[in-house]
Structure formats: C-alpha cells, structure tokens
Homo-oligomer: A and B are copies of this chain.
Amino acid sequence: MRVEIISIGDELLIGQTVNTNATWLGTEFSLRGGNVIHTTVIRDIKDDILEAIDRAFSRVDVIIVTGGLGPTKDDITKHTLCEYFNVELEVNEEVLSRVRSYFEEIGREMLDVNLKQAEIPSNARILKNEMGTASGMWFDHKEKVLISLPGVPYEMKHLMMERAFPLLVEQFEMKALYHRTLQTQGIGESYLAERIEDIETDIRNNGFGFAYLPSASQVRLRISSEKSELNERKIEGYLQQIEERLPQYVFGRENDRLSEIVGKWFIKNRLTIGTVESCTGGAIASEIISTSGSSEYFLGSMVTYSYELKSKLVGVNMDDIQKEGAVSESVVRQMAEGGRVALGVDYCIAASGIAGPNGGTLDKPVGTVWIGIAGPNGTSAQKFLFGDQRDRNIERTVLTALNLLRCEGMKINK
C-alpha cells in the first residue's frame, strides 16, 4: 500500500506551525506496513488542491488530506473535493443531529456556520468525529481511497485510529513491519551505545534494524524486523538482555510513561506519595497525576518557591537556607522529610535547583539541581548538573526524580 499525505494550510508553509501531523501519520502507517512515499504541503487554494490530489492519485493507493475542514471561511477543501469528484454537497442528517447534540452537551447555541459542517460531498462515507464538529470523509475512487481529515492534531489522530485504520486494514494488504522499543532515562545516547555495543552488534548481524531515538531527557531504543514469530522471539530476547544489563536506566517499553510505571508500583505496594517542589514548581506532581487513577496513591504536594514557604510549610531551617542556600543537600533533605510528615505520605520527593536562565553562580551554575527522596527506610539526596535551558532543566528534573523513585522501589523489592 503506497500512501501520500497532503497537508493544507498556509501556517505550515510560512513556518508558523510544524507539520507534526505528517510525522505522526508517517510513523503510524509504517507500523502497519503502509509505505508513505510522498508528503506535500499546499496552500488553501482550489487549483493547488486539485492538482495535488490529481498527482497523488497517479502514484499512490491511499491519500490522506489533512486540514481545511473547520467551520470558518478560509476552509475550501469540501467544495474542492466536490469539484474533483464531480458531486454536490448534501446535508447529512446523521452528522447534523450529532453536531446538534454536541452543542446541546456543551450547553451552547449552534450557529449557522456549524450547520454547514453537516454538508458533506454526496459520494463521501462519514468518519464519525467524537472530538469535534468536522467529520472525517472517506472517498472511494477507482480502487483507490482518499481520506479527508481536520487538521487539528487530536481530532485527526482520533479519526485515523478509531475510524480510518480499521477500514484501511480491511481493504488493503499491509505487510507489517515489527518494531519494539525500550525506554531509558538518565543516560545519553553515546554512553548507552558504549554500554550495549556487543548486543547492538549482535542485533545488526542478525539483519535487524536498530536505532537510537533521543529526546530531551530520554533515549528510546528501537529494534525492527519483518514480522514473524521467530523474529518476535529473537527481539524479545534482545530486549531482555538490555533490560537486565541496565535496570537503572531502562524503565519501560513502547509508550510507557515513567509516571505510569511508578504509579503501578505504588498501587501494588499500597503506598502513598507526595512532593515538595521548588524549581519544578509543581511539574513533578502534575506529571504524577497525568496518569488516571493516580488519586489512589498521590495525596498532594507543596510548591515552596519562596524561602518563607520552605520554612513555614515544611519546616526547613531558615539558618540552613541562609548558610547553605536553598539549592543544597541539607535543604532538599529537609524538604523531603518535612513534606513526608506534613503530607502524611510514605514517600516524598523533593527538588530544589536553578532552572535558569538567571540565578546561577560560579559554584552553583544554572542547571544545578538537588533531588531528595524521603521514605520508610530513610532519606537519600543526589546532585545533578543539567543544562542551561529552563524548560529542559525542569523536564529533566521531573523525569530524573521519577526514575530515582523507581530505582528506590527496585531496592525495596529485592
């Protein structure tokens, strides 16, 4: 199955928006054996859209068009599709009633422009959109398929996952590739490569694909092959080899999130957690509660940004703050221990650091972060030196803290 992605929108061409839709679609099609051979970004102009569709039908089996389906005036995709397929717009009663009930649910009046969203080219099959008012549309055309989707990423993804992919898998033979991913935290790409050089060589010699996919503070390892039972077993073996060698870094597989992994451990052990945060300003807590069901183990947090609140809320000794500084082992230990008592939790994470861009000194440069964990078996604290970018320092602190907590759990379980 050959695929082309056509994204419509000036905001993509002038660099105002990054075309993450095309990236996501590329990934999801390749996982399913779809071969994206062309992606195109064009303006919201009828002739450009007509030409792009025509060219795409000449070279691929499936065309995904994203964008140009909102209720406002700058959206001309539907009319252009009518012209291309030589059909008319028709009011679709099912869509109309859904748009109506959508507005009833959110308790707002429906506008005339929303009525237009129920007008659908007469040859289209509706892909029901539960995240918004613009329907996805499926067009069969000479044994090929064109799918038109709104450009809003979460609506587009919803429509692909829930509606389009199930239908595409039925209609086209897809030769699946097989990918497995390990997730690591706290080790850079090149150090990781050095630690598993022998395993990587073995994987490549077996003809499997191997890739390092680094992001801000995590590196994913991906092994890929053609799908077969034998290959799946072999890859599982490699994954386990790496997990056993680097348990302190490998925290999960596929799309696991550290906060989920940690959450499961807390649920299993019927323990509770809280945080006392300074430089992260609540970001550790908000990462913990991003997992649904977290109220089973997460009780609460305190963000003690000012000196006064560090002292007042969790009882950090003001003299220590003055003498050692707020970014110090002594203060972060007191934050963790004080928070454990004040919040009434089994484990308390504390973080204090200099996120930047200002506030660094010679002996405590921007990026210096202390992380402490107080638990039933005592308190530990560790110093890190991250980089000079505020956002990334906060993100790395959050993930590092959660991984330290995970490692703490491994010790207990031994």
Whether A253 is near chain B, meaning CB under 8 Å from some CB there, is no
Q: What is the distance, in angstroms, from A331's C-beta to the closest C-beta of chain B?
A: 15
User: Are A213 and B11 closer than 8 Å at their CB atoms?
Assistant: yes
* Interface positions of A from 221 to 264, Cβ below 8 Å from B: 222, 224
Whether A306 is near chain B, meaning CB under 8 Å from some CB there, is yes
Partner of A301, one of B26, B181, B282, B356: B282
- In the bound complex, residues from chain B placing their C-beta under 8 Å from that of A210 are 73-74
- In the bound complex, residues from chain B placing their C-beta under 8 Å from that of A48 are 37-38
User: Are B30 and A15 closer than 8 Å at their CB atoms?
Assistant: yes
Whether A55 is near chain B, meaning CB under 8 Å from some CB there, is yes
Whether A190 is near chain B, meaning CB under 8 Å from some CB there, is yes
Which residue of B is nearest A284, CB measured?
B282
Which residue of B is nearest A39, CB measured?
B41
Whether A216 is near chain B, meaning CB under 8 Å from some CB there, is yes
Whether A357 is near chain B, meaning CB under 8 Å from some CB there, is yes
User: Are B177 and A14 closer than 8 Å at their CB atoms?
Assistant: yes
Which residue of B is nearest A282, CB measured?
B282
Q: What is the distance, in angstroms, from A366's C-beta to the closest C-beta of chain B?
A: 10
- In the bound complex, residues from chain B placing their C-beta under 8 Å from that of A211 are 10-11, 16, 74
Q: What is the distance, in angstroms, from A62's C-beta to the closest C-beta of chain B?
A: 14
Whether A12 is near chain B, meaning CB under 8 Å from some CB there, is yes
Partner of A38, one of B41, B74, B190: B41
- Bound together, the chains give a CA A133 to CA B189 distance in angstroms of 11
- Bound together, the chains give a CA A16 to CA B255 distance in angstroms of 10
- Bound together, the chains give a CA A288 to CA B282 distance in angstroms of 10
- In the bound complex, residues from chain B placing their C-beta under 8 Å from that of A213 are 11, 16-17
Whether A193 is near chain B, meaning CB under 8 Å from some CB there, is yes
- Bound together, the chains give a CA A212 to CA B150 distance in angstroms of 13
User: Are B309 and A343 closer than 8 Å at their CB atoms?
Assistant: yes
User: Are A303 and B285 closer than 8 Å at their CB atoms?
Assistant: yes
Selecting from A139-147, A161-169, A292-300, A372-380, the interface stretch reads A292-300
**Candidate in A55, A209, A288, A299 with the most chain B CB atoms within 10 angstroms:** A299
- Bound together, the chains give a CA A284 to CA B289 distance in angstroms of 13
- Bound together, the chains give a CA A10 to CA B223 distance in angstroms of 12
- In the bound complex, residues from chain B placing their C-beta under 8 Å from that of A277 are 282
Q: What is the distance, in angstroms, from A210's C-beta to the closest C-beta of chain B?
A: 7
Which residue of B is nearest A357, CB measured?
B292
Whether A23 is near chain B, meaning CB under 8 Å from some CB there, is yes
Whether A305 is near chain B, meaning CB under 8 Å from some CB there, is yes
Which residue of B is nearest A278, CB measured?
B300
User: Are A26 and B14 closer than 8 Å at their CB atoms?
Assistant: yes
Q: What is the distance, in angstroms, from A186's C-beta to the closest C-beta of chain B?
A: 12
User: Are A390 and B299 closer than 8 Å at their CB atoms?
Assistant: no
User: Are B304 and A300 closer than 8 Å at their CB atoms?
Assistant: yes
Known: A133-B190, A281-B289, A289-B303. 17 other contacts (CB 8 A): A11-B211, A14-B26, A15-B30, A18-B19, A22-B41, A38-B48, A71-B189, A74-B210, A108-B191, A282-B285, A282-B301, A286-B286, A290-B390, A299-B306, A300-B304, A303-B303, A312-B344
| 6 chain-A/chain-B pairs, Cβ below 8 angstroms | A10-B224, A15-B26, A16-B181, A154-B389, A289-B355, A309-B344
